[in-house]
Chain A
């Protein structure tokens, strides 16, 4: 899909994220906005996925290991046709199929339960091992957050995978520079982040995580026999000027006034 179309989809995805976060008074809108483009690039271009492939054992797998970005995942899945967009507005509501952190198969397209950080990479690597054993063409994509890289289990997985020569795994780190209670580069010595992945044996690149040209290139360039890590520099709250780079929007649900302003900005972008 061409970049202009992807950008157009991303506008709709951002509108959904803002609207459902406001309705649900749900937190994490900034975290959802920062990974929106990564997910659009995966579901609409790089990954072999789609509602018609739901039962295809060779389908690619996308795991949102940073499960708190669920508003983005659900919005992208709805736009991709996995379920009716009207369901989105039930996000976090009583009896909803859409919990604030995704449960496996809560709606079609959700492959793995996430929400506790640090699990998705290991699970994804397990799926990649099985795929390689079956000589499947399946590729596994795992989207992590920068704060998530505080979890030791991420590094257990990162240290083990290269030794298995798994070329069918891609980790994308949504490096939006914030975590729950402060800047992610100050809470731990996170930087140099790309260098850490590279030193663990991952074929690592750094990109602008909101630039579709760079996203597509990083996701689709030829593979070597190593797992791939893409450190995607992103902006917390990307797409809404008064949310961008502001830690408060990790938690704060948009009010009706916030929503109106935000939607207007997204439409104009």
Chain B
């Protein structure tokens, strides 16, 4: 997803001279082509995330369309107040990019785990949040940002994520992408964890469950998602997030439906509310965090059996 991002960024930068790319000293050599083709529009801000965001705001005030980049927690939590006051309060078209959502930097330890970024970004006024599930959605999300005029957060995976969507499928900001048709039960996946949702769906068919699987690439706003879900009238919606339990999509959706008489049963499948100090690859961390395909399968069957 990271490579897709940089390739699409370069393409955008060549067509729009307002696009600027700022990095907090991360992404060695990944921006070389962008920097060569867009002279003066690449800025290495050093390991100074707060300044990176403030400078981005200043660029945006001057009519540019800046993009900041760092590993998820550093791009977001580290400089949260700058995003809040300099970008969101002034409603500026700054794109905050975090690489390594969830446990993509698993072996690097909890300081590098992106498990609270979506929640933090959701609390900021006017912020649009994209969590694409694959390289194709990543490119589409970046293109979509160019059509928007306010603050955006783009949460990337890292590398080697398979494409789960197809090039001919449309990407509509605010509306989820259907990855697998199904009925009665829907698995809503945020980001590349969608691969685990799809694998779980396969396991579930052997149990007579035919779940739909959706990639929810837009996590804020969710009014489009809610309307889409209402049309399908699922009995059960499982929200799978490579993120801690607090403040993510599951909570957001549940609140939307809380005051309805008829509504799907929302089950949250998220990482635990703790920093996992035992580390490993992303796949290993998914297992540890209870969000891999086996865990999703267990959570769905437990819930349906209970029902």
Contact = CB atoms under 8 A, between A and B. Distances in A.
A104 B90 contact: yes
B64 A130 contact: yes
B90 A122 contact: no
B109 interface: no
Given A130-B64, A159-B48, A122 B59 contact: no
A122 B58 contact: yes
Interface in B25-60: 40-41, 43, 45-46, 48, 50-51, 53-60
Contact of B54 (A104, A119, A130): A119
B85 A119 contact: yes
Contacts of A113: 85-86, 89-90
Contact of B58 (A116, A128, A134, A156): A128
A160 B48 contact: yes
B62 A122 contact: no
B61 A116 contact: no
Contacts of A103: 89
A125 interface: yes
B50 A123 contact: no
Contacts of B287: none
Interface in B124-145: none
Nearest to B18: A130
18 contacts: A103-B89, A111-B61, A112-B61, A112-B90, A113-B90, A119-B81, A121-B54, A122-B55, A122-B86, A126-B54, A126-B58, A127-B58, A129-B55, A130-B58, A130-B62, A156-B50, A157-B51, A159-B48
Interface of B: 40-41, 43, 45-46, 48, 50-51, 53-64, 66, 81-82, 85-86, 89-90
Given A127-B59, A130-B62, A153-B82, 19 more contacts: A112-B90, A113-B86, A116-B81, A119-B81, A119-B86, A122-B54, A122-B58, A122-B86, A123-B58, A123-B86, A125-B58, A126-B54, A126-B56, A126-B61, A126-B66, A131-B62, A153-B50, A156-B51, A157-B55
